[in-house]
Amino acid sequence: MFPSLLLFLLSATTTWTPVSALPADNLPPRDPMITPPPTPTAVIIQQRAAVSEWDSYVGSIVSGLGTSVSSYIASGVPQFFQDLPTGTAVEKSLGISDSDLAAKPTQVLNLPAYGNWTDAGWNVFVHGNVYKVPDISEAKLDDLANIFLIDTDIHDLPPSSQAQARNMTASIFVVQQKDQNVTISFTNDVETGGQTGTVNAPGGAQEIRVQDPTTDQGDFAGWLKLADTTGQNGTPLIAGNETDKIQSLNMHAKGTDSGNATAYLVPPTGITIISDIDDILRVTKIWNPKEGLLNSFARPFTPWMNMPSHYAHWAQTVPNLHFHYLTTTPEQVTRNYMEFIFANYPLGSFDTRPLNFSDVSATLSIRKHLLDLVFETFPQRKFVLIGDTTNSDVMKAYPQLAKDHPGQVQCIWLRNTTATDATFRFPYDTKGFEGIDQSRYMFFVVPDDLTGLDVSKGECYNQTVRQNVTFGMQASLFGSSSGVAPLKERSSTWVALLVALGAAMVLS
């Protein structure tokens, strides 16, 4: 079934997205190797379209693709990495033999974890995936990569971008391993510990097997209770009720060389920053399929303006701050996300989209599911939630958490993506913010709007940043006052992506 999906996607993308149909401001840069930093320019986008026009626009595009698709698209900007093939589907579609695969080393993606302090000691939530990387010829990888690069042939990219596109493609076409036992080895030998408020755990070295074997999609997840083993000089782990500092331990998946990550033992009280990644920490342009895919697949990841310096400043000035990065990008493609974050932003724990959350409704519910787990795990900590207006799930989940846990959400900061990028013209809904005190949240335009706000004192709102939030759908799709190409010229790219999404759903 999968090869026909590929053919379908190839024909869909080549037939329906002529380059000439793209508006000028969406054309790829000549040398797409480096994404230029966006220049913030204030644009005024008029609200010309009623929501019903939007509905019928979406409806006309997706009719025939099934109701699940239209409700998914209608609820916000679609995500690229929907319904990626897994396990035996990859094996069969690429004609990989079991014996070839058996000879390949087992690899583990182990996500940086958080742990909480309970009456029974420290508990760490480990999660990740077990897989093998099959041999795929470069020619085949190029064909597969081209599916993701709308209107762009991999051979037209600079060599470093080609390498990244092949690497990302190879990361998707891995064969996940089910029914595997995963044993995590903890060692108290973290090298740097340089981050303010994070210390190397003095003890805690041990091996623990994750209770459940991997799922059919190769995922593992589980809480591991750390025994209070002692380190050098007989020192045990510091009790969570006796320190404000975050203790870090190295983790390593036994029997492989690839499952290395850090576990953060986070005390019950303090402040946790929960941050989305795309279009807030890095330039993705997720609302523009072609640009978004190039930025995700081929170009080096680029920080969004000077956001790194603000995160660094908080890490240095807010005592014992815990950073948690939460992206709903599926886990296969998140190694690059982690490398990028840890090169540009403070170290911290990580959540990505597990593979069992792949159908439409699960994709839309995963963020809330992951956020709820963090809140349940740290019922006394305070949270700063950071994201941008392009994600409908963020727009819903963040204000909902402020309502469900009134004392716990310290600040909500949302980048108003429309204000700096005229090409983001999808509607987004601010209704969730109705009734939340303006001093608790801010829609901001550039990172410097966050300057000088002391989150430890609950300062979330910079009075100089104009807030004119009407609680409801902010529909900017049809406006064109700033020279943005009108809808007709833009729709063909969307049709291709929507058809691709639809095909993936229908055929998988």
Nearer to ligand NAG by Cβ, of 133 and 485: the residue is 133
Helix (H) / strand (E) element for 272: namely: strand 271-275
Nearer to ligand NAG by Cβ, of 156 and 376: the residue is 376
Over its C-alpha atoms, the chain yields an Rg (Å, rounded) of 23
Query: Where in 242-261 is the site for ligand NAG (CB under 6 A)?
Result: 242, 252, 257, 260
Total site size for ligand NAG, rule CB under 6 A? 47
Binder of ligand NAG out of 6, 101, 465, 485 (CB under 6 A) = 465
Torsion on CA atoms 212, 273, 372, 247, rounded to nearest 10: 40
Nearer to ligand NAG by Cβ, of 47 and 491: the residue is 47
Question: If binding is defined by CB under 6 A, does position 191 make contact with ligand NAG?
Answer: no
- 392, 367 Cβ separation under 8 angstroms: no
Name the segment binding ligand NAG (CB under 6 A); options: 96-104, 239-247, 299-307, 320-328.
239-247
Binder of ligand NAG out of 10, 51, 89, 170 (CB under 6 A) = 170
Q: What are the tokens at 427?
A: 């509607």
Query: Where in 416-435 is the site for ligand NAG (CB under 6 A)?
Result: 416, 418-419, 430
Question: If binding is defined by CB under 6 A, does position 391 make contact with ligand NAG?
Answer: no
Torsion on CA atoms 49, 55, 58, 64, rounded to nearest 10: -150
Task: Please name the residues in contact with 96: beta carbons below 8 A apart, sequence gap of 6 or more.
Answer: 90, 134, 135, 175
Binder of ligand NAG out of 71, 462, 491, 508 (CB under 6 A) = 462
Q: What are the tokens at 312?
A: 């660094």
Provide the residue type at 242 as one letter. E
In the shown chain, the binding pattern of residues 313 to 342 toward ligand NAG, with x for contact by CB under 6 A and - for none, equals ----------------------x-------
Backbone angles phi, psi at 66, to 5 degrees: 105, 150
Binder of ligand NAG out of 129, 377, 410, 480 (CB under 6 A) = 377
Q: How far is the CB of 335 from ligand NAG (least distance, A)?
A: 6
Distance between CA atoms of 380 and 373, rounded to whole angstroms?
13
User: Of the candidates 112, 135, 114, which has an alpha carbon nearest to the alpha carbon of residue 267?
Assistant: 114
- 385, 411 Cβ separation under 8 angstroms: yes
Question: If binding is defined by CB under 6 A, does position 179 make contact with ligand NAG?
Answer: yes
Provide the residue type at 15 as one letter. T
Q: How far is the CB of 468 from ligand NAG (least distance, A)?
A: 4
Question: If binding is defined by CB under 6 A, does position 372 make contact with ligand NAG?
Answer: no
DSSP H helices, 207-334, are 289-297, 307-317
Q: How far is C-alpha 58 from the chain's CA centre?
A: 25
The total of other beta-carbon atoms located within 10 Å of residue 491's CB is 16
Q: How far is the CB of 506 from ligand NAG (least distance, A)?
A: 20
The total of other beta-carbon atoms located within 10 Å of residue 1's CB is 10
In the shown chain, the binding pattern of residues 337 to 366 toward ligand NAG, with x for contact by CB under 6 A and - for none, equals -----------------x-xx----x----
Query: Where in 196-215 is the site for ligand NAG (CB under 6 A)?
Result: 213
Nearer to ligand NAG by Cβ, of 118 and 438: the residue is 118
The total of other beta-carbon atoms located within 10 Å of residue 208's CB is 18
DSSP H helices, 199-327, are 289-297, 307-317
Nearer to ligand NAG by Cβ, of 349 and 474: the residue is 474
Name the segment binding ligand NAG (CB under 6 A); options: 86-94, 97-105, 135-143, 163-171.
163-171
In the shown chain, the binding pattern of residues 51 to 90 toward ligand NAG, with x for contact by CB under 6 A and - for none, equals ----------------------------------------
Alpha-carbon torsion (151, 153, 154, 155), positive or negative: negative
Query: Where in 97-156 is the site for ligand NAG (CB under 6 A)?
Result: 116, 118-119, 123, 133
Task: Give DSSP secondary structure letters for 361-425.
Answer: HHHHHHHHHHHHHHHHH-TT-EEEEEEETT-HHHHHHHHHHHHHSTTTEEEEEEE-HHHH-TT--
Q: How far is the CB of 61 from ligand NAG (least distance, A)?
A: 25
Name the segment binding ligand NAG (CB under 6 A); options: 5-13, 63-71, 463-471, 477-485.
463-471
Q: How far is the CB of 438 from ligand NAG (least distance, A)?
A: 11
Question: If binding is defined by CB under 6 A, does position 25 make contact with ligand NAG?
Answer: no
Name the segment binding ligand NAG (CB under 6 A); options: 76-84, 280-288, 376-384, 486-494.
376-384
Mutual orientation of helices 159-172 and 335-344 as an angle, nearest 10°?
130
Q: What are the tokens at 53?
A: 């026009």
- 301, 284 Cβ separation under 8 angstroms: no
Question: If binding is defined by CB under 6 A, does position 181 make contact with ligand NAG?
Answer: yes
Q: How far is the CB of 399 from ligand NAG (least distance, A)?
A: 12
Question: If binding is defined by CB under 6 A, does position 49 make contact with ligand NAG?
Answer: no
Binding residues vs ligand NAG (CB under 6 A):
42, 45, 116, 118-119, 123, 133, 167, 170-171, 179-181, 187, 213, 221, 239, 241-242, 252, 257, 260, 335, 354, 356-357, 362, 373, 376-377, 379, 416, 418-419, 430, 443, 446, 448-449, 451-452, 462, 464-465, 468-469, 474
